[in-house]
Structure 1
Amino acid sequence: MPFAVQSCLDVVFWFSDRALNDREYIQPQKLHRLMFLAQAYYSVAYPGRKLMPATFVTDTLGPIEPTVFHVFAYGRPHMVEANPIADPVAHFLDGIWRRFGQYSADQLNKKLAEHAPVAAAVAKGLGEEIPLAAMVKYYGSEVASRRGGGPAPAVDQVVKPRLMRSQNGKAVAVKSWTPGKK
């Protein structure tokens, strides 16, 4: 199944630009943590789909995407242009930003260290891949069953439905249809 965006760099540029619009400099650590959360929650919200072609591995402070880490080692590259992001994906990323963008890099590092998929990968060592299946399991079924009782919010607390207006002007929640499982 195709990714929602063509490159993880598109997500990086979206978060970086969003931070600048909010008059904030986004630290690289914070950027990686937001990307990790976006990937996890997107795969929960849209079962079987990945937000971006990215792999997350453990680092001394938390999950990183190695390609992004390498490309942005000396700041934002000037020769790379972002691809346009579709409105539903931008709405999703906005939900991630509204829920987690308020936290500092240190706060996100501390929170994510408590999350099972990160902790399990860290226990295996640095540079260990954090499997998407473990992310989906934790942020989906496990978190959803705790509703507010755990260290991570449920997907419906992170991504709010898009609101549109009916022909009568009444606000209605809109989400894409996904077929049920057999």
Structure 2
Amino acid sequence: MTSIRSPLVDSTFDVVNWFLDRALNDGEYLQPQKLHRLMFLAQAYCAVAHNGRRLMPAVFVADAMGPLEPNVYRAFENERPWISEVKMSEAAKQVLDSIWRRFGAHSADHLSRAVRRHPPYVDAWTEGPRTVITEEAMVAFYGQFQAGKTPALRDDPGADDADAAPALETVLRPRVLRSHKGRPVNAMPWVPKARKDP
């Protein structure tokens, strides 16, 4: 039996509050559908960057509009509930800040259109509405992209660059650390290459 490592944050609501507060600080109202797409992408890229470790204890399902976290959807159905803020780890903040910087400027429609073309969502939706989108499917798809290389999607001649997902290196912003001489250096987590079976 495989053990599941603890997520980077204790509650999915911590991630929701972070995105809502960040949007307010940037003078933007964060639409619910955009929030769910950002959460989905954050979960996917965190799992790729941290060897399958979840960002939050969340389950995403395939909804007609795109990936949806049903508990958050229900909790925020009428208004934003009051939830106490909890201090996040630097690793969690790095993921969230990187996702916001890379995808936050896009509209809810743009993010929904793009993510609905990606195989983790497509495969779950094909199984039926409300089917769970697994972390394994997220890592397999979002982890295959490398900067400068775009693999073909499903051998679909109609697939275009909008169907591709940005490479991890272009999404997660490196942390700036200091060398032993005080100079700034970029630090990215090491991600092993996928093993190819013979």
Q: Give the structure-1-normalised TM-score.
A: 0.91
- Offset at residue 174 of structure 1 (A): 2.5
Q: Which residue of 2 aligns with 1:71?
A: 75
User: For the residues of structure 2 that align with 1:138 and 1:176, how far apart are their CA atoms?
Assistant: 19
Moved over 3 A (4+): 175-182
Describe the shift of the 1:147–1:175 C-alpha distance in structure 2 as closer, same or farther (beyond 3 A): same
Choose from 169, 172, 176 the match for 2:185.
172
- Tell me if the contact between 2:49 and 2:191 (Cα under 8 Å) persists in the aligned partners: no
- Tell me if the contact between 2:8 and 2:91 (Cα under 8 Å) persists in the aligned partners: no
User: For the residues of structure 1 that align with 2:130 and 2:177, how far apart are their CA atoms?
Assistant: 43
1:108 aligns with 2:111: yes
User: For the residues of structure 1 that align with 2:123 and 2:183, how far apart are their CA atoms?
Assistant: 46
User: For the residues of structure 2 that align with 1:95 and 1:146, how far apart are their CA atoms?
Assistant: 19
Letter of the structure 1 residue corresponding to residue 165 of structure 2? A
Offset from partner CA, 1:120-158 (integer Å, 9 cap, x none):
1111221111111001000002x2387256521011110
Q: Which residue of 1 aligns with 2:146?
A: 144
SS in 1 for 2:138: helix
Percent sequence identity is 46
- Tell me if the contact between 1:9 and 1:82 (Cα under 8 Å) persists in the aligned partners: no
SS in 1 for 2:59: coil
Choose from 113, 123, 135 the match for 1:120.
123
Describe the shift of the 1:114–1:72 C-alpha distance in structure 2 as closer, same or farther (beyond 3 A): same
Describe the shift of the 1:29–1:165 C-alpha distance in structure 2 as closer, same or farther (beyond 3 A): same
Q: Which residue of 1 aligns with 2:33?
A: 29
Letter of the structure 2 residue corresponding to residue 147 of structure 1? K
User: For the residues of structure 2 that align with 1:12 and 1:70, how far apart are their CA atoms?
Assistant: 13
Q: Which residue of 1 aligns with 2:100?
A: 97
User: For the residues of structure 2 that align with 1:111 and 1:17, how far apart are their CA atoms?
Assistant: 24
- Tell me if the contact between 1:57 and 1:65 (Cα under 8 Å) persists in the aligned partners: yes
User: For the residues of structure 2 that align with 1:124 and 1:75, how far apart are their CA atoms?
Assistant: 31
| Structure 2: gaps spanning 5 or more residues | 152-160
- Tell me if the contact between 2:176 and 2:187 (Cα under 8 Å) persists in the aligned partners: yes
- Offset at residue 6 of structure 1 (A): 0.1
Q: Which residue of 1 aligns with 2:156?
A: none
- Offset at residue 160 of structure 1 (A): 1.8
Q: Give the structure-2-normalised TM-score.
A: 0.84
- Tell me if the contact between 1:57 and 1:64 (Cα under 8 Å) persists in the aligned partners: yes
User: For the residues of structure 2 that align with 1:25 and 1:7, how far apart are their CA atoms?
Assistant: 22
Q: Number of residues paired by the alignment?
A: 180
Describe the shift of the 1:160–1:148 C-alpha distance in structure 2 as closer, same or farther (beyond 3 A): farther
Bigger fraction of residues in helix: 1
User: For the residues of structure 2 that align with 1:66 and 1:44, how far apart are their CA atoms?
Assistant: 23
Judge which range, 19-28 or 164-173, deviates more: 164-173
Judge which range, 6-15 or 170-179, deviates more: 170-179
